Structure 1
Amino acid sequence: MDISLLESVPPLSPGAFAPAPRTARHPAHLVGGTPVLWVDEPFAPPGLGFHAKLEGANPGGIKDRPGLHMIREARRRGELAPGAPIVESSSGTLGLGLALAGLTYGHPVTVVSDSGMEPAVVRLLTAFGARVERVAAPHPEGGWQEARRRRVAELLARTPDGYCPDQYGNPDNAAAYRPLATELIAQLGRVDVLVAAVGTGGHSAGTARVLREYAPGLTLIGVDSVGSAIFGQPAGPRLMRGLGSSIHPSNVDYPAFDEVHWVAPAEAVWACRQLARHHCVSGGWSVGAVALVAGWAARTFPPGARIAGIFPDGPHRYLETVYNDTWCDEHGLLGRERPDGPDEIAEPGERVVTGWTRCGRVRDPLGRDITKAVVR
């Protein structure tokens, strides 16, 4: 950080006070208006960094936005009756958003997760009044997500007035991110390149769609996890949570993407820890993966390109994993240097990727022909 920037700010004179901030009258009023932080070294040389949108500043993270929006819209349409239960599958962040929505609108919330949900998140959800139910084993074909979705279906069958927002296929998920996009425009003036992690596909689709209303030439870079099936790789075991999927969510807007990068856990851990060490801001797996790729974009795109990366959450739920030396060492994630750049494949299914890899062709694995070649 250039300390001279701080030294240029004049101190307040004695007795001078900033205007009192407006007091939020409900926790839901704290959602949105998140800050942006400039990030350069060690991801990019000074002056060639990127703008990080810090969605971890929301009470529960980025999915507070769709949690509130999906429930509000379901109530407006009459799909969710007053006081009726909400049941949804989540690895954690949407669960926190739905707990906030349940508190806001008066609905009991059940979050269906799995054994990978961090104990801290389970305790936090319980403290917020949500009930957490975890499946014991992954589905043989659809993995943990499919196992969780089937449990949701079982619970709904026993709860006639229950409602599932279906974050994987509900268009309200993507629509919830219009405010995020308009905040970026207000904060940055324009965005030339957007780097976004992809899980359900909501925030990448919704944010890029609105940004392209202002800048039709926007480049959208998707960030996925190794072992994820979203962009045509075979589904496999995934250590990273919050991005990637063993199913193909219909909210993923394949035609919107210009390229995709897959990132491995060790690379994400390196990035998370560098963010914390150099910028006093960090987060979980998605944050690390996005920072790694956004830094590459800052080094690769023409100087002057305005690059934004969306950081979906903060570091707190990852203190016993990403930021725990013992846990990381047990999983072989420490002591590795950042690669200078990604490996390259010409087609999404060319080979199974095990580390940071880029592909300039994006295809819908379920068959739509939306091939888009990018050569840089």
Structure 2
Amino acid sequence: MNHLPLLDDFGPLSPLSHAPVPAVARRPAQLVGNTPVLWIDRPFAPPGRGFFAKLEGCNPGGIKDRPGLHMIGQARRRGLLLPGAPVIESSSGTLGLGLTLAGLTYGHPVTVVSDPGMEPSVVRLLTALGAYVDQVQTPHPTGGWQEARRERVAELLAAAPGAYCPDQYANPDNAAAYRPLAAELIAQLGQIDVLVCAVGTGGHSAGIAAGLREHSPDLKVIGVDSVNSAIFGQPAGPRLMRGLGSSIHPANVDYAAFSEVHWVAPGEAVWACRRLARRHYASGGWSVGAVALVAGWAARTMPPGTRIAAVFPDGPFRYLETVYNDAWCAEQGVLGVEPPEEPDEIAAPDECTVTGWTRCSQVRDPLGRPQRRTTPRTAGVR
């Protein structure tokens, strides 16, 4: 099997080993990127069969530090965001952290519009970092919390002339921000055969896939979604999981990039998160658990030697009172749920309403839209 050297290949590190000394950052934004990769095998795959996890939780705030900085920087460069003008955006948490970092970096006040599902610890953290958190209290009748947040963003923009909304759902700069992540993966792993990504706004799956395909043109991309998410054609419904899935259809989702999609239920993601933590000392939230479950399946079922990269968007700390809290998980009915060895399969994404881990190899835009934009946006001040 063709694989990169692992720590076990060389034995334990000597106390006298000298690791390279990292550069000293002068600004927190310089800490973003160059995240490590960790080999994951058991209990998701047998020894020798596993996947490489890109640990984006090692960024100061998580994976969305990348688009937060890039979207704001590009808006300033194009004159869409004037010096000192407010930034207002909808977020369930991680992009809020990235935009707050961008606000600190470039000198902009940031308002994060969220909902009661945002963990109190994240509200407190965003506030401590200098952001203002505005929470909507009632979901939109058809678009859920996301559409309610977007409507509130529009209200705030109308009341603040010169304010800027990055619009993570449709801004091509969101996807473009992940090209450096693709370059990092190529430098770390070389040829990549399969990419496994959670899908929410569609930014990181689109951007990483586009960058990797320049080096690995036969790349297979597996999208990971939540049950009750509308992105790939399932009916929208209340979702316990944050950070993946959507009640709307983001324009940044590059449907043509995906070879297949898997839907994962909350209890299955909790199981995977906790197994990651116990075995590998590296875990995260809902997206991490769902991605690990699917990447492990790919490692078990694809030919030996297949090089699989999986993106872990965040770390575990914001989920200590949810995913890693036995009482909360028991109350939600997601404690002790062990996923099956194989997902159910459906022939079309709207064949039935899925309630647990399910796979579909037919991927299409449920709205029948033309391909997403690949050029930067030229407007954005509202």
Distance 2:301 2:369 in 1: 30
Distance 1:123 1:42 in 2: 35
Q: 1:4/1:101 Cα in 2 relative to 1: closer, same or farther (>3 Å)?
A: closer
Residue aligning to 1:36: 37
Q: 1:150/1:42 Cα in 2 relative to 1: closer, same or farther (>3 Å)?
A: same
The answer (yes or no) to whether the contact 1:200–1:251 under 8 Å persists in 2 is yes
Residue aligning to 2:288: 287
- What code does the residue aligned with 1:298 have? A
Counterpart check, 1:296 vs 2:263: no
Distance 1:3 1:305 in 2: 20
Q: Which runs of 5+ in 2 are unaligned?
A: 1-5, 372-382
The answer (yes or no) to whether the contact 1:363–1:369 under 8 Å persists in 2 is no
The answer (yes or no) to whether the contact 1:30–1:59 under 8 Å persists in 2 is yes
**Moved beyond 6 Å, runs of 4+:** none
Distance 1:252 1:85 in 2: 27
| Residue aligned with 2:214, SS | helix
- What code does the residue aligned with 1:85 have? P
Return the offset for 1:7: 3.1
Residue aligning to 2:203: 202
Distance 1:255 1:159 in 2: 38
1:17-56 mapped onto 2 (5 Å cutoff): 18=19, 20-56=21-57
Return the offset for 1:338: 2.3
The answer (yes or no) to whether the contact 1:200–1:252 under 8 Å persists in 2 is yes
> What is the root-mean-square deviation of aligned Cα atoms in Å?
1.4
Return the offset for 1:369: 8.3
C-alpha distance after superposition, 1:332-351 (max 9, x if no partner): 11122221110000000000
Residue aligning to 2:11: 7
Return the offset for 1:36: 0.2
1:89-128 mapped onto 2 (5 Å cutoff): 89-128=90-129
Return the offset for 1:368: 4.3
- What code does the residue aligned with 1:105 have? Y
Residue aligning to 2:375: none
Distance 1:8 1:67 in 2: 38
Counterpart check, 1:64 vs 2:65: yes
C-alpha distance after superposition, 1:75-98 (max 9, x if no partner): 000000000000000000000000
Residue aligning to 1:351: 352
In the alignment of these two chains, the number of paired residues is 366
1:120-269 mapped onto 2 (5 Å cutoff): 120-269=121-270
Return the offset for 1:9: 3.7
Return the offset for 1:11: 3.9
Q: TM-score, normalised to structure 2's length?
A: 0.94
Distance 2:230 2:211 in 1: 26
C-alpha distance after superposition, 1:288-330 (max 9, x if no partner): 0000000000011111110010000000000000000000000
Distance 1:226 1:19 in 2: 43
Q: 1:78/1:326 Cα in 2 relative to 1: closer, same or farther (>3 Å)?
A: same
C-alpha distance after superposition, 1:99-126 (max 9, x if no partner): 0000000000000000000000000000
Return the offset for 1:19: 5.3
- What code does the residue aligned with 1:12 have? L
Distance 1:118 1:222 in 2: 25
Q: TM-score, normalised to structure 1's length?
A: 0.95
Q: Which runs of 5+ in 1 are unaligned?
A: 371-376
Higher relative contact order (CA 8 A, sep 6+): 2
Residue aligning to 1:374: none
Q: 1:113/1:7 Cα in 2 relative to 1: closer, same or farther (>3 Å)?
A: same
